Chains A and B, each alone.
Chain A
Amino acid sequence: MTLLEIRNLKVSYNTRRGKVEALSGVSLDVKQGEVLGVVGESGSGKSTLGLAIMRILPRYSQIEQGEIFFDGRDILKLDDEELREMRGKEVSIVFQDPYSSLNPVRKIVDHFIELFTEHGYTYEKEEIEKIASQLLEKMGVPPEKLHDYPHQLSGGQRQRVAIALGLALNPKLLIADEITTALDALVEAQIVELLKEIKKDYKTSIMFITHNMGLVAQLADRIAVMYAGRLVEVGKTSEVIEKPRHPYTRALLLSVPRIGGSKALQPIPGEPPDMRKPPSGCRFHPRCPLATDLCVREIPVLRNIGDRYVACHYA
């Protein structure tokens, strides 16, 4: 029932000014048919997680250690050709910027044709067009747009096309990396509804990466909270939101604006850490109201409390 197993994943980037550890030992599961929300600020490593699973990390980075099992296979041991087959067909990813994930000089339908052809399907062009047309309709894009160029579509439409492309080959897992961040609130809500439907109709597992707690609350079955390259809390959405156990999760929830709410926003004090020289011990300690010497000295391990996982000495 577990589709994706990540064990102790460490990923680092080589920058001009030194090595940066983006993920410092992340262990996570995604079950079949569930939506896992991965929440965190910029620099928390959440996007890196998505890229690592797809094995499309940039050239100047490396997976230092860890294991990733997808559908029972160790995908860190796959060769280039097997990985290529996997991408788009078993696991798909949709990126943040709707303006740059489609080929500007190709029509929408050509993207679908390319996708099917590259994965070895021998359908006729008309068949692919039909499939794509139905898919677009389901995504809420008028099928006539198939014969348009990307620049003729709105941002929201382009994002839906990207999602359609991601689902076209019926993958088991869809990674959505901040796919609504660049869209306005109304479109954002529509996309979230769309994802709910996808989960219902296609039973696809979704890893929904975002910094927006509000969205996650609506969509995800489980939440994984990340900070500075580490997991700090994992658990069922409703439980985590009602009773957050990690100080960071608590702070995140308090800083989400609520329409009609009267409570003042409480921003988290301090700034996200410089990942070239992250804080020792618990990386949240400079900003944590409960921090003690222990927090500076010892890295808190992600431990089990009921069916919640928390990485805090004082949870």
Chain B
Amino acid sequence: MRKPKTFGEWCLLAGGILTFIVLLFALIGDLIAPGNTTSSYIMIDGKSVEVPPLLPPLSRLHIDGRTVTFILGTDQLGRDVFSRLLAGARFVLAVAFLSTVVSTVIGVFLGLISGYIGGLFDRTLSLVMDSLYSLPGLIVAIALAAFLGTGLVNMSLAIAVAYIPSYFRMVRGNVLSLKGMPFIEASKIAGASSLSIALRQILPNTFPSIASLLPITFADAIITEAGLSFLGLGIEPPTPDWGFDLNKGRQFFLAGYWWIGIFPGLAIVITVLGFLLLGEGLNEVLNPKRWEA
């Protein structure tokens, strides 16, 4: 692999590294962490030991000759911050993934048929989508989450709705400009059915723009999820979640226990930044705008 030349390539590299690290930690982090994410007890040799709350980072517990390190400290209930971070990563990434998938599939599908069919259907749907798009994503998610309830699936759905219009608009825009192109005309003359044209000719041509939107939506979903859980929507208390922990950490922050709130926040920043850079890099590679002479 060669050294990145353009800014876009640097972004791609940086983003790739960050997301890789995050994913790595999410998947295998448990191996290196004490693991008491939801309870204040850890198991050492089959014995349940209570963990003191509010331990600062790098605290060690010596039990029966074994040493347990709490790299990032423990929170107000004696739960290991690091373990909660890792478990939170899994949860957050799962929510972001699910909501991205849902919004992409629905948005692309609707955009495709709306753009292709056109007419009153298209105009109405576009108006609806534009209106939805103008509402703040967080507000939409709040409204939905308040009434869908808690849990991973509900949260993902609530967030997904907020991003459907983005995909809809982009795909619809693509479809509209592609519809008029000569190669579509040629396919029609050759007798291809509308469905076939839509699926085999137009859809693949929208992939580059969809692909460049994906990481950004993913990153945005993480932020929205953090916002939702910060407000207390969507998750049930013992579930580890970055936004929720950050909110809890706020109260203890000013009392001097900074690690409870800071680390979840950092986790959010690193993860989102990673995906954003990935998205930026991908965008430049897939849709080069400026080229020299």
Question: What residues make up the interface of A, taking CB atoms closer than 8 Å to B?
Answer: 13-16, 20, 58, 60-61
B31 to chain A, nearest CB (A): 46
Q: How far is the CA of A58 from the CA of B291 in the complex (A)?
A: 13
Residues of B within 8 A of A60 (CB): 292-293
A244 to chain B, nearest CB (A): 32
Quick one: closest A residue to B291, CB to CB?
Answer: A16
Residues of B within 8 A of A15 (CB): 292-293
* B residues contacting the other copy or chain, number (CB 8 A): 3
A47 to chain B, nearest CB (A): 12
Quick one: closest B residue to A22, CB to CB?
Answer: B293
Residues of B within 8 A of A58 (CB): 293
Residues 242-293 of B at the A interface (beta carbon under 8 Å): 291-293
Residues of B within 8 A of A20 (CB): 293
A43 to chain B, nearest CB (A): 12
Q: How far is the CA of A60 from the CA of B293 in the complex (A)?
A: 8
Residues of B within 8 A of A61 (CB): 293
The 8 closest A-B pairs by CB, nearest first: A15-B293, A60-B292, A13-B293, A15-B292, A16-B292, A60-B293, A16-B291, A14-B292
Q: How far is the CA of A223 from the CA of B243 in the complex (A)?
A: 74
Residues of B within 8 A of A16 (CB): 291-293
Q: How far is the CA of A16 from the CA of B293 in the complex (A)?
A: 8
* Interface of A (DSSP majority class): strand
A18 to chain B, nearest CB (A): 10
Total A-B pairs, Cβ < 8 A: 13
Residues of A within 8 A of B292 (CB): 14-16, 60
Question: What residues make up the interface of B, taking CB atoms closer than 8 Å to A?
Answer: 291-293
A40 to chain B, nearest CB (A): 18
Q: How far is the CA of A14 from the CA of B292 in the complex (A)?
A: 7
A22 to chain B, nearest CB (A): 10
Q: How far is the CA of A20 from the CA of B291 in the complex (A)?
A: 15
B155 to chain A, nearest CB (A): 45
Q: How far is the CA of A261 from the CA of B293 in the complex (A)?
A: 40
Residues of A within 8 A of B293 (CB): 13-16, 20, 58, 60-61
Quick one: closest B residue to A60, CB to CB?
Answer: B292
Q: How far is the CA of A58 from the CA of B292 in the complex (A)?
A: 10
Q: How far is the CA of A61 from the CA of B293 in the complex (A)?
A: 9
Interface centre among A13, A14, A16, A20 (most CB of B within 10 A): A16
Residues of B within 8 A of A13 (CB): 293
Q: How far is the CA of A167 from the CA of B165 in the complex (A)?
A: 51
Q: How far is the CA of A147 from the CA of B22 in the complex (A)?
A: 59
A-B contacts, 13 listed (Cβ < 8 Å): A13-B293, A14-B292, A14-B293, A15-B292, A15-B293, A16-B291, A16-B292, A16-B293, A20-B293, A58-B293, A60-B292, A60-B293, A61-B293
B136 to chain A, nearest CB (A): 31
Q: How far is the CA of A13 from the CA of B292 in the complex (A)?
A: 9
Residues of A within 8 A of B291 (CB): 16
B47 to chain A, nearest CB (A): 66
A6 to chain B, nearest CB (A): 22
Q: A16-B292, A16-B293 are in contact. List 11 more A-B contacts (CB 8 A).
A: A13-B293, A14-B292, A14-B293, A15-B292, A15-B293, A16-B291, A20-B293, A58-B293, A60-B292, A60-B293, A61-B293
Quick one: closest A residue to B292, CB to CB?
Answer: A60
Quick one: closest B residue to A61, CB to CB?
Answer: B293
Residues of B within 8 A of A14 (CB): 292-293
B100 to chain A, nearest CB (A): 33
Q: How far is the CA of A15 from the CA of B292 in the complex (A)?
A: 5
Q: How far is the CA of A14 from the CA of B293 in the complex (A)?
A: 7
Q: How far is the CA of A184 from the CA of B291 in the complex (A)?
A: 31
A65 to chain B, nearest CB (A): 20
Q: How far is the CA of A197 from the CA of B65 in the complex (A)?
A: 102
Quick one: closest A residue to B288, CB to CB?
Answer: A16
B291 to chain A, nearest CB (A): 6
Q: How far is the CA of A295 from the CA of B292 in the complex (A)?
A: 33
Q: How far is the CA of A174 from the CA of B49 in the complex (A)?
A: 89
A282 to chain B, nearest CB (A): 25
Q: How far is the CA of A194 from the CA of B292 in the complex (A)?
A: 36
B16 to chain A, nearest CB (A): 23
B145 to chain A, nearest CB (A): 44
B207 to chain A, nearest CB (A): 24
A299 to chain B, nearest CB (A): 25
Quick one: closest B residue to A14, CB to CB?
Answer: B292
Q: How far is the CA of A16 from the CA of B290 in the complex (A)?
A: 11
B63 to chain A, nearest CB (A): 63
B265 to chain A, nearest CB (A): 41
B231 to chain A, nearest CB (A): 43
B204 to chain A, nearest CB (A): 26
Q: How far is the CA of A224 from the CA of B293 in the complex (A)?
A: 26
A19 to chain B, nearest CB (A): 10
B3 to chain A, nearest CB (A): 16
Q: How far is the CA of A13 from the CA of B291 in the complex (A)?
A: 13
Q: How far is the CA of A151 from the CA of B214 in the complex (A)?
A: 38
Q: How far is the CA of A88 from the CA of B293 in the complex (A)?
A: 26
Q: How far is the CA of A60 from the CA of B292 in the complex (A)?
A: 7
Quick one: closest A residue to B293, CB to CB?
Answer: A15
B51 to chain A, nearest CB (A): 59
Q: How far is the CA of A136 from the CA of B292 in the complex (A)?
A: 37
Quick one: closest A residue to B5, CB to CB?
Answer: A16
A23 to chain B, nearest CB (A): 14
